[in-house]
Structure 1
Amino acid sequence: MRSSVLFLLVVFALVFGTFFFRMRIEDDSRRADEEKLRVLSKQARRVRQFLEHGGIESAGADMIRQFGAMSEDPTLRIALLVSANCNVLAANPPELVALSAAEALRRSGESPALAAEIPDARKPGGTRASIESDRAIVLSPVQIPGRPVILAVRSVAETRAAVRRDVSSQTAALALIFLALIAALWTWLEVALNRRIRRLVDAAARFAVDDLEARARLGGNDELALAGRAFDAMADSVAQTRMRLLESEARVRLLLDSTAEGLCGLDLSGRITFCNPAALRLLHVAHPGQLLGSAFYDLLRLPGSEQTLDKAWVDLALQTRARVEQELSLPCPDGTVLAVHHSGGPVLLQGVLVGRVVTLTDLTGKKRAEEELRKSQAQLRMADRLATVGTLSAGVAHEINNPLAYTLANLGYVAERLRELPGTPDCAEVVTAVEEATEGAERVRRIVKDMKTLSRVDDETIGAVDVERALDASVNMALHELRHKATVMKDYAGVGFARANEGRLVQVFLNLLVNAAQAIATTQPDHNEVRIATCLDAEGRVAVEISDTGAGIPEDVLPRIFDPFFTTKPLGVGTGLGLSICHSLITAVGGHIEVASKVGVGTRFLIILPSVAQEPAGAAVRPAA
């Protein structure tokens, strides 16, 4: 501190001295120059007055008398009386007479450019006195015929040098005084402060090497004493904090040693820097020294693999700040392989990633329990499916009646046509009727097959389905139910293909269309409407809306319409499985179905299906649920 204070004082003195020295030199030099210029102007004015009253015959003597001989005053560089044609009429020194003004200036060592300013000096108000570099220059016209001009040049270099010498001597005296003051201050600091400072420094040094009892204990009321007391207070606080930290560290160590999960600390290269006893047991290591410094991820494998973990995976696990959760395998020395859950999190120091902390959990017991649970659940599902088959047998008729009705209606139509035609029946119409009957029979087969999925797994696969073509097929099959009840309005937006099963999607649409027809009590197609619309929603999914102007569903019933066996239809008309099956089929392909209804206004079903465009490239087609 003492050296710093003295250094600052010296620097301040140097800066101030330099500033003072320059300012004094500039001010004194300016005043000296102005005085020189004033004297030179006065001399030129007196020469001009003599010439205006006495003529130019004695001009040379007058100039020497006023300006002084150059041998007596070396600062006089030149004094000329210049005629209108720029010839020297009189001069000091006299040997320059009869020369041109430019030549006289050149021989005197002055700039010949001054000769160009002489004509301007003859103009009214042309008198000029100025300081240029280290020269004082005066140009003064004489008010006589021909208007000659007096040009006088005097050097101010010696005057400036004298000013510098005077200021330098004053500055040197001030410097000596300042140095004496600094020496006195140094002595006072040495005598008055050094011992107490050493005491404070000694206490700080002992405290730095964990001597928590070190204190300065300085007396007095000055700033150093205040600093000493502040140090003692800080030392007390640090000592108390250190004790609390040691206690906290002991508690943390106890917790780490007591936890059942293996904990390992890693540096950014993946080497182990810490491990708790649980990790030693899990890794079959007797002493931490056998693990510290080794590559942690060289000990682990991906499930079912005998190769070490891929370097890209290891780099991601070490460099990312996110928590990395992964099930891995741990080969044991006895040849067994443990399934472990790896959970790695970042270790941040002031926001900078410095390592990882990894938790390893033995999954052996969990895997065993999961396998037992899986077997039990499989047995339970099988038993439940077998029980459900019997329960749903009563509902099979509900699903069979619709396609069977188409078959019977078309067969009746064929029979009616055959009766009406006197000759050979119309082959085209007969073929159409037969195709519709075949389609209805195929529909019966699909429904029976859907019922069997409760007890066996042979479901159809999911693929790209043209939604609007499926809707058209459903309308064609339900047309006999709709044509006498309502007008079918189509509003297609060209939505393309959805990810679904075509047969089951047709089944859903057909069920909703038949329900819409049954919800319309009157047989007035011109007054009722079943509307079918398609579009893409904001997320690019396929949206299908089927609405009717039927009786509507009461608000208190609406939340239960997708429940199995729930129906509002009269006994014998429905079993309550239709909408439940629709809901299951739509959710099985990743979609969902919504309903909105108001009594006396109608019902609207909205079906959302995943678009084929949303599927990732190369995604495998999986079986339907």
Structure 2
Amino acid sequence: MPAEDSREIGLRTAQDPGLRPPSGRGHSIDWFKQVAVMSNPLRPNNRFARNLDAILEALQGAVAIATAADDTAEPTLLGANQAFVLASGWAKADVKGKRLSDCNSERIDIRPLFDRKGQQQHWLVIHQAAPQDTASEKPGKRRRKTSPGRPGTKGLGIKEPDTGEEADFRALVEGFPNGVLVHRDFKPLYANEACARRIGFDGSAGLLAEPTLLPFLPVELHNRALRRQRRILAEGAAGPARVLRCLTAKGEPFWVEAAEKRILWRGEAAVLVSLSDVTEQVQMRRSELMLREAVDNLSDSFVLYDSDLKVVLTNRRFHELFPFLPTQQAIAGKPMQELVEASVANNVVTDPRVWRDREQFIADFIADRLSNEACVSEDAWPDGRWDTVKEQHTRSGGFVSVRSDITERKRAEFALRDQESRLEQALAERSAQLKGILANIAQGVTVTAPDMRVLLVNQGFLDIFSIPGELGRPGVHVSEFVRQGLRNEHYPRAEVEAAGGEDAFVEQRLAVIARVTRSVDQRTLADGRVIEIRQQRLPDGCIVSTYNNITDRVHTERELQRQREKIYQNEKLTALGGLLAGVSHELNNPLSVVIGQAALLESMAPDSALAERAMKVRNAADRCAKIVKTFLSMARQRPAARSAIQINDLIADVLDLVTYQLNTTDVTITCDLAPDLPLVAGDSDQLSHILVNLFINAQQAMLNTPLPHRLVITTSYLAASRQIRILVRDSGPGIPEEIRSRIFDPFFTTKPVGHGTGVGLSVCHGMVTAHGGSISVENAASGGAAFTVLLPAGGMIQTEEPEVAAPRLHSQERQILVVDDEPDITSFLVEVLEAAGHSVDVASSGQGALTNLAGQDYAAIICDLRMPHLDGPGLYGAVSETKPHLLDRFVFITGDLLNERTGRFLKKTGRPCIEKPFMPDQIRSLVEEIAARGEA
């Protein structure tokens, strides 16, 4: 326990002084170098000698004090403690007066003591054989002898000594750097300055003013300290020095090593305490213990060697790995060689060198550790475990080795390596399979390196481009393939010339290939084959190219596109036909009146001139009726009636009709008609309509172009396809490419509003298709548009029977019922039938007809199919319930046979139907036939 400094109180008895230097591990003889100087020579009297002996005995270690009468005299011993006497081998009584030269100079250390003025007064003699001395010295370090002399430092500044005996003891005690404290029942009686400063007081007076020293001890030590004091005062035995945790005046902890002894202080028993501050040593010891505990709890194996390659420290994991080595408590100081030999003897070393020469392996192992400042390696155990061994030299020349278990990682590495090996083997097998596949497929494959040299070429590529086999070797430059393609004429000549020649073309192709990242292209070879080329650049810069002959696919796609366009055109024309059919139905009624009235007028005309006019009207109306029927045939998708037609004669007839109109716009007509053309099976009216449409369209196309306006008509026979070709070419502006594919679309026209409907060419397309031919358009090389019509030569020809005027029948008068909502139609039918001698009743609706039928029967009932309110089928159904015997006398007339309901009705009933427009003779003949059947 520290004590407060006091410069006023001296030691009164021979047993008063006591001082114990630091002891135990970590202390060295250097402590004695800190002994303070004494202020004046000690006077050699009995009481001083007794006090000096008490002080020296309180000190641990072999210590003596020497003095000299003057600077020339040899120092002699004034006193020594029992440890010094034992170490020197002298008797206690013989110590005093012994000369320093009598002491063994190899085993003593002499330290001069100076006063505060720097004058040497005495010597401190320390015997090196003392236990604390030998423990404090480092092994292998030679002790240095210190001869008497004046050091280079001045005195510590102790106050001037008092006179008298107590002053001598006081000067001696005050000079020690250790704390010296005297207390009774923990009431401080004396303390030197070192003790007072350590507790936190400026001087010993402050500490001596404290009523008790217990506050400077932790509370948990109070009872134990009181018991110890009573035992010391009663028995006088203090026991060995101990380390205590004390508190400063501010409550801060520190540690001291305390040596206690019973003394008489002014005639009464007291406790003398010698205090050595060991706070730093305790903290270092605690840090050492914490470090040892941390190292001991590492999951890795740890061993530390000193510079002599002897074990300093190990941890628990190290001994778990090497259980055959000495225990953790006994291994310190063992040399590395002994550990390595034990490892080899216990067969834990898997290095193959150990089996060749065990001694050499051990020597090489240790030499490697000495030569390598740092090393990281992997070590295998016989049982399959693996460690990472990290070895590093320390600054003090030692050596540390740490082992980390990496068994799981190594197993994972081995598994990964095994998997990689299997993958490499599988890849090699797949590569061989791939090479076999590539060698036998028709598709071409090449792999090109970044330097434009091929790495792989399969046989398919060589076959597609007709390349010799020697060019298929790896390492051939791509330019060789391009030059071979030029020799095989696989590139268009115009493209080669545009590049500036073959060499420039090769460079151009190489530049294109070098820029490839990902592309799909098609190349048409000179022989018409189409090659699809797909190229892809890989991350390593190589280019993989595939070549596929897609000629058949391209032709199929083109044919499918042509068929789709054809179907599309047919669908559009069908829609147009449906529209025209509706229009035609509306035209049939007035055409029926015109044709009928013209026929009546022709038969009733009194002179030939009037009859001729009536005939012309009837022929024109009849032609209109045929055109309407043509529309209906297109809508029904039924083939028109065919007859043998000479195309050249048909062209001449059509030109007679349009020549005047063409001449009005200064159109020059040139005909180049091939002689002896085969006949064509077709409808002359439809073909005439096609030619008229083409001639008039050509005329209108040339209206806004400068003269001359030329129309060239050419015919020829294509023997290979057995087709008649009609070419109509004009000198107009031609047809732009972007609208050429739409030229035959219904209602598509380039003419201004009011000048065209877009129906003409679409109708022509439908008529030509119905004849089994085709029509196309392109721009002529000399300018203008060129329409080509192809018609099959020959074919099935339906010969039309010449119309023979039916003889007038002079039959008996019959009662006829006419049912139609069109007044003009009913009046025409009445006039025709009455002229034939029949009696006719008229009903404008189905309801009116039922009224007539309620009163009488009729020889024939002529009924329109489409009427408001009650139509023809409705009337037929009503009659089937009231007068079924009259059902066989129905004759239906209509202008619309496209209606599905009408078709089903006529097919079910089997009744005849006359399609509008009709001729008078058709009516008369059918009525006579129906009436005759009824009478029979």
User: TM exceeds 0.5?
Assistant: no
User: Quick check: which one's helix share is greater?
Assistant: 1
Bigger Rg, which one? 2
* TM, length-normalised to structure 2: 0.20
What TM-score do the two structures reach when normalised by structure 1?
A: 0.29
